[in-house]
Structure 1
């Protein structure tokens, strides 16, 4: 397949772009406490710019402190922000890429912990998601005078953006933030000139556009991001958005960036789609907008494969495609596509690792790309002298360590005791909707081959093998072992482990009780239920799937419900027998019937080899679940780090 349309020149207003690939705004939470640009932020944008993208929309940057939505969000609320933004603009421009800042105000979608005061909104209607985070939270309605002053803040932010040397500015009018709140009948209950009817709800954004134009001039490109639909009863739908677009087109907007949803509809999985959401869930909204404007339209949301991007453009469903998380996973995605190196792309697997961290107010990282935000820390430098490196374990941590060390010039041999590479990732990919995990495993295997790693499967590393091979370095990535709880009956013939169930080495008889309602337990329960088994999940905590992100969790619970999976929470298993389990809740015991009990109650590190080979080599590294069972993101990072340190 050729990708001619993707690399065709494009225009937004007076701005010429080298191709149709857009890096959309993605909050990374890497700014300083004051919202100032950091070196870490610059380094990541430089990597993306160098990778061949046509345009970068710098992440949502708050225009006023009360509109701050994340603890380390980038700011553009004061002239002191300009110096850092100027350095960012220069760094991006050094690679010939156009860039502009997205100016943002969270409105009701923040809490005092983040914004330092009582959140403001067009109406005092709280956001359900924020209420869940802070039960005391309640937004304050802006006065009529304050609304006008807030429009001035947007204009001043646009002026700072231009003063910093950026090529355009984007207004954030999507995802349920302040502008969306004014536009939507779901959140705007005002009776003054900024509410009441369509014209009143449009007034705020039209004033913002007018005031921005007065600051930046008639020829400076101004784009806006909109939610094509909020997917909320009583909220904005695509018909309403088309009316909004027509008014903004007349007001001088140069391009429309069409996304979807607000925080309260985010669990539906379209704004930032998880694995369970089909590809390109919002393209039809962009296409509908194109029907009512001649201005360029940008589409976004899980358009993560080159063929899909090209198809959208060829069919004229949009003029530009934003690929977002794909650029966190592999900043060189555009360059590799252009050069025909599709097999070298480290594709985003939509695992939600990045966004789950953001919404828990942590630094954004990427599961499959440990260099994201660590461009300086994990620099791959050639070694002056090659060492003989033995890697024990062919899971994600071991494979990452092996190819990185080999790329640096070491002689690397990877051993895997099973006949298949991938470790726990192979099992993690087996439950329904999780197949994209295999995409990364295949990428790692290609990296091993590309970098000349010798791979030996079906052979376990032992102290005897170490003594025989005499490596200079050993990297141990042997993973974890299932935890066996201290429960009477746990050794019964009807008790099996979740990993063995997924491997197909044990048989289960219905009804099946899954002991443990975390990601693993819920995953194996869904897998079994899809095969027609009757499944019950027993969890001692208040809710199941608490180690999953919000939209992943909500979509999973919906699928489990449709499959008829019974869920028992706040129940501690005290006994297992051939008839099922005995559970206890608040001192009361009850029986839950079942033929097979599947254990999904955690794991412990496999440190047997680490203890056995201590003293046999001068350099010994232990990475991933061998240190402590955590997420694959941690394992892959530790593997890359070991590969860089050897």
Structure 2
């Protein structure tokens, strides 16, 4: 087996930002900011990982829309939470790190049973949750969520776009180094892309080009607020939490239409979320989703999914088999060296061990994976 990981630990110039290596902390929901306010423990959590990796993407953060997130302990990116985020940013910068917040609107996946305001319905492009397929949700949840609701009005669409832009501007003013946008996994932006949940007949619905309009307008509004130089990262996926076999694009050409619209709107970097970093994006090719994004757009791309571990995120959550440390870094590094993608998004391995990247760089053994790490902040 080729053991060279030099490309993974090489620096990378991302616009005006210099990343010390290609390892990025992937966004992972924590729900450990009471009342939406990140505390000193959140600052410490990110700072402990900042000095050995290239970039941190925070957990998803709520934008100033009342239906953006459900759980009251999801951190907010507005109002009184902003000074708290300044402490987080300062702690990361003190360790020589870079940090982006991931702006998040849950949309159809907002769970009223967990919500601080259960009377506020989740927002849906066409009032549809999506036909359940291969999913981890139980029958009781699916029955409750499958009930149709009112489609989003054009004024609600405009308000959400403005909320994304406001949060982005506030984040940059707070000291963040760039902006990440969650446009994947069946959340709001992704459900505009997906034909199953977007059956609108106005300018936001129709063919795949029209279904990309909402996401592109979110990006364009953010770009207008933060200026031409700040980096915008966009997370996309083909699979959904509603159905792991669903997709927004059945072919590379269709994916190119979506990603092209986002690129034209101002995306600098794509975060291609797949269950495994090396899983082929489309039949007939070994190229993974991140590789397709780079090929189609020419933009830098990050691969994510099982880096440093033997299985995917869902398998860890539901306990399907044992999650084990796995040194798949030589393959990751090879793909970076060959220009397939540019960065490696690491999630659970960094949750399990803040020093994971340093161990990887030194060739040390990885720690045994502790599944409880996903339920604590250390």
TM-score for both structures, normalised by structure 1 = 0.49
- Between 1 and 2, higher relative CO (CA 8 Å, sep ≥ 6) is seen in 2
1:7 aligns with 2:9: yes
Distance between the aligned counterparts of 1:238 and 1:155, measured in 2?
Answer: 31
Corresponding residue of 1:73: 74
Q: In structure 1, which of residues 219, 230, 255 is the aligned counterpart of residue 229 of structure 2? A: 219
Q: In structure 2, which of residues 132, 138, 141 is the aligned counterpart of residue 133 of structure 1? A: 141
CA contact (8 A) 1:110 1:130 kept: no
Map residues 408-423 of structure 1 onto 2, 5 A cutoff.
none
Corresponding residue of 2:264: 250
Distance between the aligned counterparts of 1:30 and 1:346, measured in 2?
Answer: 24
1:296 aligns with 2:296: no
Corresponding residue of 1:163: 173
Deviation of 1:155 (Å): 0.3
Deviation of 1:70 (Å): 3.5
Corresponding residue of 2:25: 23
Distance between the aligned counterparts of 1:322 and 1:248, measured in 2?
Answer: 20
Corresponding residue of 2:318: none
CA contact (8 A) 1:185 1:236 kept: no
Query: Alpha-carbon deviations, 1:85-119, whole Å to 9, x = none?
Result: 11111111111111110000000012223342211
Corresponding residue of 1:84: 84
Deviation of 1:54 (Å): 0.6
Corresponding residue of 1:124: 127
Map residues 509-548 of structure 1 onto 2, 5 A cutoff.
none
Pairwise CA RMSD of aligned residues? Answer: 2.2
Query: Alpha-carbon deviations, 1:261-283, whole Å to 9, x = none?
Result: xxxxxxxxx2xx7xxxxx74367
CA contact (8 A) 2:7 2:333 kept: yes
Deviation of 1:154 (Å): 0.5
Distance between the aligned counterparts of 2:170 and 2:39, measured in 1?
Answer: 17
Distance between the aligned counterparts of 2:299 and 2:69, measured in 1?
Answer: 30
Map residues 491-570 of structure 1 onto 2, 5 A cutoff.
none
CA contact (8 A) 1:238 1:288 kept: no
Corresponding residue of 1:336: 359
Deviation of 1:228 (Å): 3.9
Corresponding residue of 2:99: 99
Deviation of 1:237 (Å): 3.5
The size of the alignment, in residue pairs, is 336
Secondary structure of residue in 1 paired with 2:288: helix
Distance between the aligned counterparts of 1:245 and 1:97, measured in 2?
Answer: 28
Secondary structure of residue in 1 paired with 2:113: helix
**CA 1:292–1:347 in structure 2 vs 1: closer, same or farther (change >3 Å)?**
farther
Distance between the aligned counterparts of 1:311 and 1:347, measured in 2?
Answer: 25
Map residues 322-471 of structure 1 onto 2, 5 A cutoff.
322-340=345-363, 342-343=364-365, 345-346=366-367, 348=369, 364-365=375-376, 373=377, 375=378
Query: Alpha-carbon deviations, 1:532-584, whole Å to 9, x = none?
Result: xxxxxxxxxxxxxxxxxxxxxxxxxxxxxxxxxxxxxxxxxxxxxxxxxxxxx
1:43 aligns with 2:53: no
CA contact (8 A) 1:326 1:347 kept: no
Secondary structure of residue in 1 paired with 2:272: strand
Q: In structure 2, which of residues 329, 336, 354 is the aligned counterpart of residue 313 of structure 1? A: 336
Corresponding residue of 2:60: 60
Distance between the aligned counterparts of 1:236 and 1:168, measured in 2?
Answer: 27
Secondary structure of residue in 2 paired with 1:121: coil
Distance between the aligned counterparts of 1:198 and 1:302, measured in 2?
Answer: 29
Deviation of 1:17 (Å): 0.9
- Which range is displaced more, 121-130 or 326-335? 121-130
Q: Which has the larger radius of gyration?
A: 1
Query: Alpha-carbon deviations, 1:113-137, whole Å to 9, x = none?
Result: 3342211110111254487327444
Distance between the aligned counterparts of 1:87 and 1:234, measured in 2?
Answer: 39
CA contact (8 A) 1:229 1:238 kept: no
CA contact (8 A) 1:105 1:177 kept: yes
Structure 1 unmatched ranges of 5 or more: 261-269, 274-278, 356-363, 366-372, 376-646
CA contact (8 A) 1:158 1:212 kept: yes
Secondary structure of residue in 1 paired with 2:161: helix
Map residues 601-612 of structure 1 onto 2, 5 A cutoff.
none
Distance between the aligned counterparts of 2:87 and 2:227, measured in 1?
Answer: 23
CA contact (8 A) 2:293 2:299 kept: no
Corresponding residue of 1:142: 152
Distance between the aligned counterparts of 1:134 and 1:244, measured in 2?
Answer: 28
CA contact (8 A) 1:280 1:303 kept: no
Distance between the aligned counterparts of 2:181 and 2:369, measured in 1?
Answer: 27
CA contact (8 A) 2:185 2:239 kept: no
Query: Alpha-carbon deviations, 1:342-364, whole Å to 9, x = none?
Result: 22x21547x5x556xxxxxxxx2
Deviation of 1:198 (Å): 2.5
Query: Alpha-carbon deviations, 1:226-285, whole Å to 9, x = none?
Result: 00455545743352322211222222210000014xxxxxxxxx2xx7xxxxx7436711
CA contact (8 A) 1:6 1:20 kept: yes
CA contact (8 A) 1:309 1:321 kept: yes
Q: In structure 1, which of residues 220, 223, 236 is the aligned counterpart of residue 249 of structure 2? A: 236
**CA 1:246–1:234 in structure 2 vs 1: closer, same or farther (change >3 Å)?**
closer
Distance between the aligned counterparts of 2:352 and 2:56, measured in 1?
Answer: 16
Distance between the aligned counterparts of 1:234 and 1:46, measured in 2?
Answer: 36
Distance between the aligned counterparts of 1:177 and 1:85, measured in 2?
Answer: 24
CA contact (8 A) 1:111 1:130 kept: no
